[in-house]
Amino acid sequence: MTQKYKLTNEIRKIGATTLYKIEALKDFGDVKVGDKGGWIEREGNLSQTGNCWVFGNARVSGKAVVSDNALVSGNAWLDGNAQVYGNARISGKAWVSGDAMVGDNAMVFGDAKVFGNAKVFGDAWVYGDALVSDNAVVSGKAKVYGNALVYGNAKVSEGHVNKGELI
């Protein structure tokens, strides 16, 4: 398998964690050879296959994995055992951590947080200051935004959960 990126010598320390700037070794998706990407702790954080990529100041650390055609950008941060896959997009200042999974065509952006064992997939959007945690599932065409909190064993699959609402 031909590698699509490498870790550069450019590093960023965050506490005890060392992150490395990535650089594309070949053209794929919207990425061209030589393009610098975001920051990852180790090669296992970003798949060498598919069109997945980490852009800008986005960070991926711990055992978190970005795969398939997923994109992480802005100042987003993935850590823990989080997984982002399919055509999912994580951007803004979003934070995905713990054992959370974001997949399919889902989008997590703004200052949203997804953590614990939470899952966001399908065409769902989580944005604004929304928080999805514990074993909650957001799927289908659901939109969770504003200051909404979705937690516990809650499931949201259609419609909107707006700011200030608690599920």
Cβ atoms within 10 Å, residue 21: 17
Q: What is the reported pTM?
A: 0.94
Q: Which residues of the chain have pLDDT under 70?
A: 1, 160-167
Give the tens place of pLDDT for each residue, 32-76.
999 999 999 999 999 999 999 999 999 999 999 999 999 999 999
DSSP string computed for 92-117: TT-EE-TT-EE-TT-EE-TT-EE-TT
In the sheet with 53-54, reading across from the earlier edge strand, the strands are: 53-54, 71-72, 89-90, 107-108, 125-126, 143-144, 160-161
pLDDT of residue 158: 79
What structural domains and CATH numbers belong to the chain?
5-161 (2.160.10.10)
Average pLDDT, the chain: 95
pLDDT of residue 157: 92
